[in-house]
Chain A
Amino acid sequence: MRHWLRSYGLLLRWNLLRLRTSLPFLFIIQTLLSVGIVLGFSFLVPRDDPVSVLYLATGAPTVALITVGMVMAPQMVAQQKFLGLFDYQRAMPVPRLAMLAADASVWVALAVPGMVAALLVAVVRFDLSLTVSPLVVPAALLVALVTVAVGYGIGYAAKPELAGMITNVIIIIALMFSPVNYPADRLPGWLAAVHQWLPFQYLAQAMRETLDVPASGVPVLPFAVLAAWAAAGLAVTYRLMTRRA
């Protein structure tokens, strides 16, 4: 365990040094993007419909996490592959999961300010009052973990050129064609059925129903589904990281 923590600390330090010039930039873009989604979508959805407003306000932090974990992270992995960083990392005597954790920490930390800013803007803009559950913290961490785990799986599995396109598709699906910023019943039946098997609606639900707890309490299903997605994403990523040609 000591070796694990030591490796994690050193790799995290390397990450912070490596990204220190781009982090402030990513940070600003990420926060603007998250706030921008709330403001932009508020022109699209009726502002006097409480359901629409709730979905939008709580969907924005979800989209913030999806952007970081499933778009920025795999793009950075692709870039690292391209730069040859992997050749160096693969030969390091460190636990593979410590390597993944050191990367994931940076991404989660990067997503938090955007997430909070988006939520605050939404609350002010729509004059919302939320019933926040303390479970929102583990929920946000789980959502972040799922997006990073799946994002890393994509980054490791796909060729660098392809990873960029896949992440573009993901962000369009998440923003426009997923029950994240609006309820699932607005989707055509077949697409709603597809989303039963994708993580997006559960990511949104875990955030939404811990930020504003429904009368029936915080549901278990999204957490179970997300745990399964996180496990699958981590397993695939771990497998790809330790694969020997």
Chain B
Amino acid sequence: MTRRYSNSFLSILVIILGFLAVYLISGVRPDIILKSIVISAFGSVYGLSETLTKSIPLVLCGLGLSLSFKASIWNIGAEGQLLMGAVGATWVVLYLMPNAPRLILILAMFLMGAILGGIWALITAILKVKFNLNEIIVSLMMNYIAIEFVNYLVYGPWKSPYEWGFPYSTKFPLSAQLSRISDTRIHYPTLILAIILAISLYIVLNKTKLGYEIRVIGDNIEAARYAGLDIPKIVLVVLLLSGGLAGLAGVGEVAGIHHRLRVASGISPGYGYTAVIVAWLGRLNPLLIILVSFLFGGLLVGGDAIQVSLGLPGATINFVNGLILIFVLVQSVSKARISYVRKRKK
């Protein structure tokens, strides 16, 4: 018990030291930074709408990751899976069926986004199952491939002739642009989809055969083997679904916000990585993940705001995010250690 407390204490100390470092470098007091983040993210209708907008991809990626993590598969590749989803949507709109009616076009975009995101994760799954490669490293590396692939497309074959040389694809036709709530950027079809999927995922995990298998594998792979579960198949299915969910987030970003494919860093400021924190802080519970996504959406909005209002570098918020991730990981690792030691003692 003392160990656990000392870990929490250590994490809080790290965060305080982090803010202190920001203070020493920038001269801006931590309380002013925090106040500025909170007010800009949650203090106005505009702030709230931006927060909600940014929480949409976090919910979808967080759901995908939580599914993997629940099975003890450490998929860190949501960023790449999101980007491949964006590629899938763009492909459908600009090349596969540009003249399809609106409803069909939108459904096809989401479907193709999920498929490409899913396949991207499936590559990791196959390498893990067939060659016993470490999925953390593979999925992380797959992110870089996806980032460079998107950049290649917008600088190369998919670069629009109508954008004065900017690395943009051609703009999506109106029929492919998702509806928004009045003059905000909240593309509500994706939001509704995310909420429906969160509830579905909750049901899948707790009420279905597949969810049962995922939980058995995640908690005790020896027992899964003993009970004759088809572990490779389940790993493939989990990563396919996990990547598919992140792929949907990518569709939402290009069809709801940007209305075109652009460089990777323009589509996602690291939603896939932030979602790792979201999934853990949400304790892998789909419904909690919605709430945590909203808070982290706020953090991203606040991060943009303190660049403008306080003149802090954009990396400040990444820095804070990183500290929170350390905090969460130290907590979960120490918990895992404690239960491992307890098991051993038995």
Tell whether A pairs with B: no
Residues of A within 8 A of B (CB): none
Residues of B within 8 A of A (CB): none
